[in-house]
């Protein structure tokens, strides 16, 4: 493997792409640590230290994870990649609902370009809304950092607030641009790599907090358990059901086409990390609403604080698992269309051995998809509740590095990027990382 890494950097084109991607990642991390103009850096450090000691990131833990810790520091890149993720998911869901978007999706490259432009516009709009909400909450630090009374924004004039909103929105636009630069001129999917970088940024502190709380014994135990979890995630992420497809021979003019055998790969985890993000966001919503005004310990706000805000409560765990299973089936249903695949196979003379073309093929694909999605949803549920178990056993933070979205993103993006580097190595040397 070390030889493969050396060979990658000896190849001029691949070395240029790798160094370009690493440079963009370094610039992204620099922006995540750069304070927004008008924010008191000393107050932010004071509140952040208090939050670490109390483990009180709470409702903002997911967004802070995807921003690499930039959210709770109110930096230039405080919003991170979350507005783009949200807008991408919204546009993807709207392609099923709005016929115009569905038609654009079928137009090929031109339609994809138009949908990408809509995603950019929606990202900027969401960034304006989220930066405004974040600054409104920052005026009362206790809503973000429990127990913090420091003045995060000393100057609350309209011009200063407008400047901060513009800076955070521009930071989101710059992140989106950096991700597209990596996609065009670097290695791998740019947005995925930036998310990967944000998640990995909190990995060392998450591991070290366990050592400080429980000592070296628990630290080594967590590392060993983490290796097992990562191996299991790799196994499930690579697992797929290959549905065989046979194409009949056909004459087009004087040339013979078809007569080949291939397969349709249906992954066990067809939905990726999206169901976990959806479920977490939906459970965070009532917690966020309960923080606006009123007594936090009485009425419906008290019920939410007791049963929903506590991640280790059995009701929270049950709701979390149920939502993950539901969103897994929902997302797979809108992204994998058995009817469209069956029609395309019939159009080009393809069929599944033993299954008639047309509607029987559609029903068979739907049957296979529903059977393979169930273990995929259960696998996502088990990985997602690992941080909750670690929270009780090791007093770890909510962003436990070997569970939930963290390990899914790190393993998934790492595997995809490694595959792209390996494919380019094989084009030149016929040997990749795996021999």
**128-150: per-residue pLDDT in tens?**
988 888 887 777 766 666 656 66
Nearest-angstrom CA–CA distance, 42 and 308: 32
List beta partners, residue 265: 242
CB 30 within 8 A of CB 37: no
Give me the pLDDT at residue 319, please.
Answer: 86
Q: Name 351's Cβ contacts closer than 8 Å, sequence gap at least 6.
A: 245, 246, 248, 345, 357, 361
Give me the pLDDT at residue 170, please.
Answer: 92
**pLDDT mean over 160-178:** 90
Structure-model confidence comparison of residues 108 and 128, the more confident one: 128
Give me the pLDDT at residue 250, please.
Answer: 66
Tell me: pLDDT of 395 over 60.
Answer: no
For the chain, list the domains and their CATH numbers. Answer: 1-201 (1.10.3370.10), 203-402 (1.10.3370.10)
Q: Which of 265, 213, 247, 269 is CA-nearest to residue 391?
A: 213
Q: Which of 133, 396, 412, 384 is CA-nearest to residue 280?
A: 384
**Identity of the highest mean pLDDT range in 201-205, 296-300, 316-320:** 316-320
Helix (H, G, I), strand (E, B) or coil at 311: coil
List beta partners, residue 261: 246
Give me the pLDDT at residue 16, please.
Answer: 87
Nearest-angstrom CA–CA distance, 38 and 26: 24
CB 35 within 8 A of CB 75: yes
Tell me: pLDDT of 56 over 80.
Answer: no
Looking at the chain, the whole-number percentage of residues with pLDDT higher than 70 is 76
Beta strands in 234-366 (DSSP E): 240-247, 250-252, 255-257, 261-267, 350-351
CB 152 within 8 A of CB 44: yes
Give me the pLDDT at residue 174, please.
Answer: 92
List beta partners, residue 242: 265
| Average pLDDT of the chain to the nearest whole number | 78
List beta partners, residue 264: 243
9: confidence class by pLDDT, cuts 50, 70, 90: confident
Q: What is the value of pTM for the model shown? A: 0.75
Tell me: pLDDT of 25 over 80.
Answer: yes
Nearest-angstrom CA–CA distance, 425 and 7: 8
DSSP state of 257: E
Nearest-angstrom CA–CA distance, 397 and 395: 7
């Amino acid at each position: 493997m070390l030889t493969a890494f050396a060979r990658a950097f000896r190849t001029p084109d691949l070395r240029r792409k790798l160094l370009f991607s690493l440079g963009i990642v370094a610039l992204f991390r620099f922006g995540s640590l750069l304070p927004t103009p008008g924010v008191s850096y000393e107050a932010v450090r004071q509140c952040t230290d208090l939050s670490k000691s109390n483990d009180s990131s709470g409702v903002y833990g997911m967004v802070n994870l995807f921003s690499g810790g930039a959210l709770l520091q109110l930096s230039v890149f405080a919003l991170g990649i979350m507005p783009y993720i949200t807008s991408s998911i919204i546009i993807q869901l709207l392609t099923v609902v709005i016929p115009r978007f569905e038609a654009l999706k079928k137009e090929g490259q031109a339609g994809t370009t138009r949908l990408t432009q809509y995603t950019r516009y929606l990202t900027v709009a969401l960034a304006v809304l989220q930066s405004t909400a974040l600054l409104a909450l920052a005026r009362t630090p206790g809503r973000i950092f429990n127990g913090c009374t420091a003045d995060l924004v000393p100057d609350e004039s309209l011009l200063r607030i407008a400047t901060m909103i513009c800076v955070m929105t521009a930071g989101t636009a710059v992140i989106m641009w950096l991700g597209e630069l990596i996609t065009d001129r670097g290695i791998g999917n740019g947005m995925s790599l930036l998310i990967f970088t944000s998640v990995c940024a909190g990995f060392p502190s998450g591991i070290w907090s366990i050592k400080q709380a429980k000592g070296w014994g628990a630290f080594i135990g967590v590392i060993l358990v983490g290796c097992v979890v990562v191996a299991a995630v790799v196994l499930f992420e690579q697992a797929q059901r290959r549905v065989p497809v046979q194409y009949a021979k056909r004459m087009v003019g004087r040339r013979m086409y078809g007569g080949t055998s291939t397969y349709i790969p249906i992954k066990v985890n067809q939905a990726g990390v999206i169901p976990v993000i959806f479920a977490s966001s939906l459970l965070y919503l009532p917690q966020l609403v309960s923080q606006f005004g009123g007594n936090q310990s009485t009425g419906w706000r008290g019920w939410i604080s007791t049963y929903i805000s506590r991640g280790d409560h059995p009701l929270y765990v049950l709701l979390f698992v149920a939502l993950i299973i539901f969103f897994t089936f929902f997302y797979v249903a809108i992204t994998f269309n058995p009817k469209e695949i069956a029609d395309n196979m019939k159009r080009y003379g393809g069929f599944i051995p033993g299954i008639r073309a047309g509607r029987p093929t559609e029903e068979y694909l739907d049957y296979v998809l529903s059977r393979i999605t169930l273990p995929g949803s259960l696998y996502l549920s088990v990985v997602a509740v690992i941080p909750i178990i670690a929270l009780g056993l090791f007093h770890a933070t909510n962003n436990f590095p070997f569970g939930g979205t963290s390990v899914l993103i790190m393993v998934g993006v790492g595997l995809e990027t490694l595959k792209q580097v390996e494919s380019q190595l094989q084009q030149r040397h016929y040997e990749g990382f795996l021999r």
